[in-house]
A and B are shown apart, each in its own frame.
Chain A
Amino acid sequence: MSKRMKKGVLIGLALTMVAVLAACGSETEAKNGAKNDGGKKSVELLNVSYDPTRELYENYNKAFAAYWEQEKGQKVTIKQSHGGSGKQGRAVIDGLEADVVTLALGYDIDAIKESGLIAEDWQKKYELNSSPYTSTIVFLVRKGNPKGIQDWNDLIKDGVEVITPNPQTSGGARWNYLAAWGYALHQNNNDEAKAQEFVKELFQHVPVLDSGARGATTTFVERGLGDVLLAWENEAWLSVKELGPDKFDIVYPSESILAEPPVAVVDKNADKHGTREVAEAYLKYLYSEEGQTIAAENYYRPTLDSVKTKFADQFPEIKLFTIDEVFGGWDEAQPKHFNDGGIFSQIYTPN
């Protein structure tokens, strides 16, 4: 190697070191800056959530900020981040400094727990498995329900096309899959083989597997593909409201799954930022009369009785089973059904 070349390489390496050090330096600076905010006149929270909660938390944040200022005389600014539930979970693991997470399924919060950022017993910290509001899986069909779809077994009739996102890439779609599985299980005296057959047949009626819930809604609504969209109840109501009640109907099956999108304080981050008190109050207030009303107005099922009765018309009573009852929780359901080599991927593996 020539002298000049050596010199060049050395300069390059030196510059690389400087850049890396500079990056580290600015990071520690940012952390120190954040620390100083705690317990002062104003405080900032970052709520990392999933896609369809955008409107819900926009309204809720205003309500909570007003409540907190009245209660403690402290100004709280809440920043929101939205995206696919799993992706958001990974972002927090990889260093997105969320104070609280409000995700689509406990599995994603469990994954953050594994990284040590959240305490072991997070799901016990708040009532009802830390799920202040719930939802369920319903059918969105074209106006007048031309294919006469009333229940899960109508989905596997000849000529019916079903739209659902891929459960391997979409947290929401995992609820769709589990709802179908639970229904089939109950129809066949808990025969797992029969349930597997039903779900396999169901997915043979799926022409397109979008990667996320919003993509599947677009495929169904804008592209005109399929006869029925499996959707969260809140998403179905939003679609009907936004796209016109003259285009779609919502069909409630005889039974479905109770979708429990949970919430948790990211302990390590909240302690570092000194925001634990306000973060805990933020999640707790979701259970209050006001928080529950905002959830119901955004088509999430409230869990507080007084609000439940007020919105009874909006949420028809149907038989709902939980993931703990039927599947033994996410710890069992995820590897058995959705990981590679699990039952879902077997549907598509050629023998």
Chain B
Amino acid sequence: MQTSASKRGGLPGFGLTMGYSVLYLSLVVLIPLSALLLNSTGLTWEKFWDVATDPRVLASYKVSFLTAAAAGLIDTVLGLLLAWVLVRYDFPGKGLFDAMIDLPFALPTAVAGVSLTAIYSQNGWIGSLFEPLGIRLAFSPIGITLALMFIGIPFVVRTVQPVLQDLDAEVEEAAATLGASRFRTFRKVVLPELLPPLLTGFALAFSRGIGEYGSVVFISGNMPMKTEIAPLLIMSKLEQFDYAGATAVALLLLLISFILMLLINSLQRRVRKTAR
């Protein structure tokens, strides 16, 4: 510990920065989380188990995790594409296009939800095109996924973009002169470099999607067992002044998310190591 600290401590002010980190972590993360735990003190193991295994709660977890994963995966592909276009090509209005990527961050999620519902509902611009085919976009899991894709896309673009920018075009040229096809160059040279940021982007978009409430409630239709997301069930329990039940749902949600994040992070470390 001593050696590694002094090695990294080449920069002055380690004490202060570490102090700030502890302050930040405790004020912004640990204290609210321990409040959550305190709230659950009214919760016995049986009650926790009852809530956690309730079919409606399980169904809502399934909806939340599946739609968030689907949205995260689609965002990873589309985000890579967007970042690629933004880094590798020059076109008029590029600055504007680039700035627009961040809009989902700035827009209040409720506004996003209402406008997405307006477009994708059966009498909306896009929804009305799919309605004759018997596909319902809004008020279905597809709608939830669409909302989460919208919310999550900037995460992927903004994590991939800087890495792509630093990527040396000469390496690709070298691969090409050595006779590699474009696809092979992409797969063997570009992708390994991009995999860590892509994983980070996916993890961010995915975890944001699990907790997202504001935009989803408008587009999901909130049908129990079908399109009800876990955060809505938490709200519904709070509405019954059932703080312990709400905390139980939240705790489990948090726990699963945390385990998934740990898995993704360790995967990322492994990828980074093999890339080197």
Contact = CB atoms under 8 A, between A and B. Distances in A.
Interface in A271-286: none
A166 B19 contact: no
Interface string B53-91: 011100000000000000000000000000000000000
Given A11-B15, A169-B239, A1 B26 contact: no
Contact of B122 (A90, A170, A225): A225
Interface residues of B, number: 47
A207 interface: yes
A218 B114 contact: yes
Interface in A217-260: 218, 222-225
Contact of B217 (A7, A211, A334): A211
A124 interface: no
B114 A15 contact: no
A86 B238 contact: yes
Given A8-B15, A224-B122, A207 B221 contact: yes
Contacts of A16: 22-23, 26-27
Given A169-B239, A340-B242, A9 B19 contact: yes
B244 to A, nearest CB: 11
Contact of A4 (B14, B217, B224): B14
A215 B218 contact: yes
A211 B218 CA distance: 8
B133 to A, nearest CB: 18
A7, A90, A223, most chain B CB atoms within 10 A: A223
Given A2-B1, A86-B239, A169-B239, A8 B14 contact: yes
A31 B224 CA distance: 43
Contact of A340 (B6, B22, B26, B54): B54
A340 B245 contact: yes
A10 B114 CA distance: 47
Contacts of B34: none
A84 B235 CA distance: 11
Given A208-B223, A211-B222, A223 B121 contact: yes
B225 A210 contact: no
Contact of A19 (B22, B27, B55): B27
B241 interface: yes
B49 interface: no
Interface string B126-137: 000000000000
B26 A12 contact: yes
Contacts, number: 132
Nearest to A347: B224
Interface in B144-177: none
B28 to A, nearest CB: 11
Interface residues of A, number: 45
Contacts of B21: 8, 12
B239 A168 contact: yes
B99 interface: no
Given A16-B23, A207-B139, A340-B54, A348 B240 contact: no
B266 interface: no
Given A207-B139, A225-B121, A12 B232 contact: no
Contacts of B118: 222-223
A349 B55 contact: yes
A169 B55 contact: no
Nearest to A1: B1
A24 interface: no
A211 B232 contact: yes
Given A209-B224, A348-B225, 6 more contacts: A12-B25, A171-B239, A224-B122, A340-B240, A340-B245, A348-B56
16 contacts: A5-B1, A5-B18, A12-B20, A13-B22, A86-B241, A89-B241, A90-B238, A169-B222, A209-B224, A210-B222, A211-B217, A223-B124, A334-B240, A348-B224, A349-B55, A350-B55
Interface of B: 1-2, 5-6, 9, 14-23, 25-27, 54-56, 114, 117-118, 121-124, 138-139, 217-218, 221-225, 232, 235-242, 245
Interface of A: 1-2, 4-5, 7-13, 15-16, 19, 84, 86-87, 89-90, 111, 114, 166, 168-171, 207-211, 215, 218, 222-225, 334, 338-340, 345, 348-350
